[in-house]
Amino acid sequence: MAAQDRTNDLLEELGTSLAATQKQRASELSQWRNAHPALAGACREAAEALTRVQIEYLERMTDEINDTSDDMVEGEFILNEFVDRYGPRLAHLNGVIQVLAQLSSVSNPANTQHG
């Protein structure tokens, strides 16, 4: 019982710490947006534009998956080629969109965490 109580206390402390960190980060982003309203708006527009690019990219990617999935299951080379071609680009694109959305004047709930 004592170990469970200690675990609960630690989890509570961790939750409090994470909430404080998230609140601080939100405050810093808000200050940045207020200090750079034009750039924050430009970030929002860029995030929206890149989201449209991302949708097109995902459509092409899923078409290729659906067309070659049997080959990917049977051949590691084809799967590796697919991952090499789409993986890094998709990861980087997602990262850029997330940064732009966080810096934008209107937060994007799909790309930010609330607590």
Q: How far is CA 90 from CA 70, 72, 94, in A?
A: 22, 19, 6
Domain ranges of the chain: 2-103
Give which of 86, 98, 84 is closest to 59, Cα–Cα.
86
Residue 109: pLDDT band with limits 50, 70, 90:
very low
Predicted confidence (pLDDT) at residue 108 exceeds the cutoff of 50: no
Tokens 């991952």 map to which residue? 83
82 contact partners, CB below 8 Å, separation of at least 6: 64, 65, 68, 72
pTM, full prediction: 0.67
CA 76/CA 99 separation, integer angstroms = 34
pLDDT in tens, 12-54: 999 999 999 989 988 888 888 889 999 999 999 999 999 999 9
